[in-house]
Amino acid sequence: MCFLCLCISEEIQTHINTMVSYKKLNPEDVQFSSAVLSEESRPAQEEVAVPEPERASLLPRRPSCSITTGVVIIGCLLLILGGGWLLHTIYWLHSPSSQQPHQPPPPAPGRSSDSRLPGEVNDTAAASRNEACSLIPEAWRFDCYPERGTIVTQELCEARNCCFIPASTSAPHPSRKNGIPWCFYPPDFPSYSLVSLNDTSMGFKGTLVKDVKTYYPGDILTVEVEVQHETDTRLRVRITDPSSPRFEVPISVPTSTKKAENPEYTVELSKQPFGLIVTRRSTGAVILNTTVAPLFYADQFLQFSTSLPTQFIYGLGEHRSTFLHDVHWTTLTMWARDVPPMEQTNLYGVHPFYLAMEDGGNAQGFFLLNSNAMDVVLQPGPALTWRTIGGILDFYVFLGPDPASVVEQYVEVIGHPVMPIYWALGYHLCRWGYNTSNSTWEVVKNMRNYGIPQDVQWNDIDYMDQFKDFTFDGTKFDTLPDLVRDLHAHNQTYVIILDPGISSTQPEGSYWPFDEGLKRGVFIKDSEGKTLIGKVWPGLTAYPDFSDEVTHKWWYENLHRFHEKVPFDGLWIDMNEPSNFLDGSTNGCPSDSLENPPYTPGVLGGLLRSKTVCASAQQKLSTHYNMHSLYGLMEAKASASALKQILGKRPFVISRSSFPSQGLYSGHWLGDNRSLWKDLYTSIAGILTFNLLGIPLVGADICGFSEEPQEELCVRWTQLGAFYPFTRNHNSIGMQDQDPTAFSPLARTAMKDALLLRYSLFPFLYTLFHHAHAHGHTVARPLMFEFPKDVKTYGIDKQFLWGKSLLVTPVLDPGVNYVDGYFPEGLWYDYFTGNSVRSKGEELRLDAPLDKINVHLREGSVVPTQAPNLTLWISSGQPLHLVSALSDDGSADGDLFWDDGETVDTYETNQYTYIIFSVTQNKMTSQVLHSQQEMSLITVGSASFYGVQEKPNKVLVNSQEVPFTYRDNQVLSVTDLGLNLIQNFTISWK
C-alpha cells in the first residue's frame, strides 16, 4: 500500500478512536487521554503540552500524518468510505435474515436486488441506523424524550434524530413516567467536541464546540470546561458559558490555590464527542464516565449522564424511599415543595449529592452544585442522568475511599454542621391544637408529675393572633409569657414556629412587620417589580426575600421585638419552600419561559409555580426560578444569625426546607408524616440520608403528625425516636393527644424508660455531635459505614448505629414481641445486661416485648453515660458511668467531649474538655488531651467492663484496691469511684 493510503488509514483509525458510542465503556475497552487532541485541532497560540498520566492511556496512541496531503487524503477518504459502504451493503443484502432484526423492504417487482433507485440509499442508511440502535442494551438507553404527558410516537422521536424501539419489557404505553425509554439517543447523536486544551495552575481548561443545534432552544454552541485537582481526594469540574455569565449557587465553598500533588484519581478526556472519565488510581474503578450519553448545554436545559460503579446508590434528598435507591428506572425530581412525604415526589429539600459503593468496599461521592429544578434519573446500567433547567454544571467528585471519608470530603465543601446547644438533644414536645397556653402548660406539668424527661416545649401556629408572625393570641394564649418563665425556672426551654408569609391585609399602621417590610423593600417582587402577594395561613401574604441582607436585619428586629414579649429560646421555621396556597400569586404569573420552560422536571403539580410563588418573581440575587430551592437555607441563615444576637448563645433552628450547607445553621425534621407503621419504618432512611447530607440534627415526628395515634405504634415510635438525633413528638390539630402522659400506665412507663435511656446516653451523643461539627462525621450511621466490605449491610435501613459503637434494632411491625436484626461479623453485647452475641455476619431473632428496644454495643467500644434526670441540665451534672465492650483481645476505646453546652464556638476557642479512654491488657486509662478547670466538677463515678473473660483477684483504681462485682456473664463492675474527670486515671484488674 502506498504511503498516502497508509497515512489515510491512520487518520481514519485515529478518528475512530476518538469517536465514542453512547454505551457503557469499561477501562479495558476505551481510552481517552487529556492529550488526545491532534495538532490540527488546536490553534498554534493555544498549544499546550499535556503530560501523560502515570497510568497508560486506555487506547494506544496513533501516529498522526502531516496535513500537507489533506486534499489527497480527503479524496481517498471519500473513496474508501464509499467502498466501505458498498461492501457493507453487499454483506447486509446477503446476510441471513435471522441476523437482521430490521430488514429492508423487499425489492420492487421487475428489479434485481442489485439495481437500486436513489431513494433506496436512504432506506439502507436508515436500516443501518436501526441496526445500531437495536444493539444498544435496554439498560443503557438514555431517554431522548423525557417530557411528561406526551405520547411519544416514532415520528416525534425521529424528529429529534433519536432511536425509536418499543422496549420489550415496558408497558404498552410509551409515555409512562418510569420505565425503559422507547425513544433514546443513537450512537451518533450530535454532541460537543473538545477543540482546545490548556494547562492551568489547578488542572486544565478546555473549549467545547457543537456544530449542530439540538431540539431544545437556546443551545449554547461553545462552552468551557475547567478541571481542578483541588485535593488528593477531591476533583472539581465546571462547565460554563464563556460568552455570558449564568446563575451560580451563592454558597461558600473552599477555594484551592494549589494543585493536588498525589491525587487518588486520574482524569481522561474524550475529544469527539466530548466526555470525561475519572478513575480510581489504586484500583482502576471508574468513578465517572460521561461518555455514555451526549452532553446538553442550552439556556434552560443542561444534561449529562454517567455510568455508576454498582447499583448501591444513596443520598439524593429529599425523597421518601428506602435508604438504598432503586436504580431500575427511578426518576427523583428536585424542587422544594410543601407536600406530606410520599414516594416518587419532590419534597421539602434539595440535595444533589450521592454516595456510591464500589466492588470491594470502596466508596465515592458526587455533588452537583446547582439549585434549579432538576430530574435525577437512575437506570439499571447502572447509570445516572442529571437534567437541570438552569445555572451551570459545577460538580465535585469525592474519592473517599471509605463511606465515612466521602461524607467528610463532601462536608468539607458545603460546611461542617453547627454544634447544637445541649438542650437540643433532649426530648421535645409539640402539637398543633393545644388551643391555649394553659392547656400547653398542663401537659408540661403532667410530664413533670410522671417523672418523664422533657427539655423543650413548642407551640404550633395556634399560639399566634390570626396566624400572624411575631404575635400571640392575647385571649387564648394570654399566659404564654408566664409559661415560658416557668419553663426557664425548671431548666426547660421554649420554641416557637414562624412561617415566612407575612400578612399583607392588616390596617395600615397596625402590623409593624408588614408596614416596615414594605417600607424597606424586603419582600419578593413580581415580574413587574410590585410586591408579590400569595396566600398562606394568615390569608394574603408577602414573602421576605432572604437573599437580601436588608431582610436579615428586618427579620432580626422583628424577632428581637417579639422576644421582649415572649422570651423564646429557639425557632421552628416552617412552610419555607416557600409554600403558597395559590399557584404563583393573586395576580397569576406571566406566560414566559421562566414559568413555562422548554422542559419542566417532574415536579408535583406539573408547574414550577405549583403551590409556591411565581418562578419569574424577582429576588435580590436573581429570579425565583434560580433561587426557589435556596429559600429555606437563606431563612435558616437569617434566623440563626438573629438568635445569636438576641440570646448570645448557640442558635437552635429547625427548618423544613433545606439545601446543601443547611447544617451550618439548622437541623431538620422530616415533615408532615402520618401515624402509620410504614412512616415509622421510612423515618430511619430519612435520618440516615440527612446524616449523609451534612445535617445530623434530624428526626421525624414521633408517633406521626396526622391521623389518630395508636398506643402500640406510639410506644414503638418513642423507643425508636429516643435514638433520633433530634427527638420531637408532634401531632396535628383535631387528633387525640399523643404525648406520653396520654396513654395507659404500661405504655407511659415504656415511653418514659426509652427517654430515660436517651438521657443516660447524652455524654456519648454529645460527643458524636462534636465529631460531626469538627470532623464531618455522621451521628446516626448506616451499618455499611462501619462494615463497607460486608455487602449484606448495604441495604439495611431497619437498623442503624450511633457512631461506631451502638447498634439500634427497633420493632417496626405491629403485634410482635420479637425483632430480627442483622449483626455484622464480630462480638456484640446487649447494652442492658452485657450478655454477648458472637455473629458470623448473620440475622438473629431478638426478644422485644413492648417495653424494650434492643440496643447492642460493638466490641472495642467505650461509651460514657450518666444517670438520667428530668432535664439535660440536671442530668449533665451527674457522675459519669463508663461502659466498655471488650474485644477478644481485651481492648476497647472511646472518648468524651464536654463544654458548657451553650457558648458559641467553644471548640474553635479552646473552651472545652476532651478525653480519650483506652482499655488494653486488663487496664483502662484515661488521657486528658484538653481541659477546662470548670470540668473538675464532673466526676467518673463507676465503670463496667463487658467481656472480662476471667474473674479478677483484685481491682485497682489509681493503684488503690477497690471493691468490685463480677457476674457469670463476664461483666466486671466498680462503683463509688469519685474520679476527677480532668485528671488522668487508671482502672486495672488482675
| Bridge partners, 836 (sequence order) | 829
Indicate the burial class of 117 (C-beta count within 10 angstroms; 0-12, 13-18, 19 or more): exposed
Verify whether residue 577 is a known catalytic residue. Answer: yes
Which stretches of 581-670 are DSSP H helices? 624-627, 631-647
Of 264, 545, 577, 739, the catalytic one is 577
* Cell (9 digits) for 941: 463515678
Q: Which residues are 880's β-sheet partners?
A: 866, 940
Would strands 301-307 and 383-388 be described as parallel, antiparallel, or unpaired?
A: antiparallel
CATH class, domain 799-989, is mainly beta
Report CA Rg, the chain: 32
Sign of CA dihedral 930, 933, 938, 940: positive
The pLDDT assigned to 178 comes to: 60
193-414 and 799-989: same fold?
Answer: yes
Taking the C-alpha atoms of residue 447 and residue 870, their distance in angstroms, rounded to an integer, is: 9
| 534-549 pLDDT tens trace | 999 999 999 999 999 9
Helix (H, G, I), strand (E, B) or coil at 679: helix
Q: Which of 264, 526, 574, 899 is catalytic?
A: 574
Question: The domain 499-669 is classified under which CATH number: 3.40.50.300, 3.20.20.80, 3.10.450.50, 3.50.50.60?
Answer: 3.20.20.80
So what's the architecture of 141-168+177-189 in CATH? Irregular (4.10)
Angle between helices 118-134 and 70-94 (to 10 degrees): 80
Q: How many CB atoms lie within 10 A of CB 67?
A: 12
The pTM (predicted TM-score) of the whole model is 0.88
Q: What are 177-213's pLDDT values in tens digits?
A: 468 999 999 999 999 999 999 999 999 999 999 999 9
Give the whole-angstrom CA distance, residue 541 versus residue 536: 7
Give the number of C-alpha atoms closer than 13 A to the C-alpha of residue 591, restricted to the C-beta side: 0
Residues 35 and 196: their CA atoms lie apart, in Å, by 10
Query: Domains of the chain: which residue ranges?
Result: 141-168+177-189, 193-414, 499-669, 799-989
Residue-wise DSSP of 830-884? ETTT--EEEESSEEEEEE--TT--EEEEETTEEEEEE---SSHHHHTTSPEEEEE
Q: Which H or E run contains 20?
A: none
In 693-761, which residue ranges form alpha helices assigned H by DSSP? 711-721, 745-760
Residue 230 CB coordination number (10 Å): 24
Q: In whole angstroms, what is the distance from residue 479 CA to residue 439 CA?
A: 10
Q: Please enumerate in sequence order all residues whose Cβ is within 8 A of that of 579, keeping only pairs 6 or more positions apart, or say none.
A: 338, 499, 501, 536, 611, 612
**Cα 813 → chain centroid:** 27
508 DSSP assignment? T
Q: Write the CB contacts of 33 (distance below 8 Å, at least 6 apart in sequence).
A: 50, 52, 53, 57, 58, 59, 61, 268, 269
List of the chain residues with pLDDT < 70: 1-122, 169-178
Q: What SS3 class is residue 383?
A: strand
Please give the DSSP secondary-structure letter assigned to residue 903: S
Instruction: Let me know: does 462 contact 434? Beta carbons within 8 Å.
Output: yes
Is residue 814 reached through a cis peptide bond, with omega within 30 degrees of 0 on the bond before it? Answer: no
pLDDT at 307: 98
Class of CATH domain 193-414: mainly beta
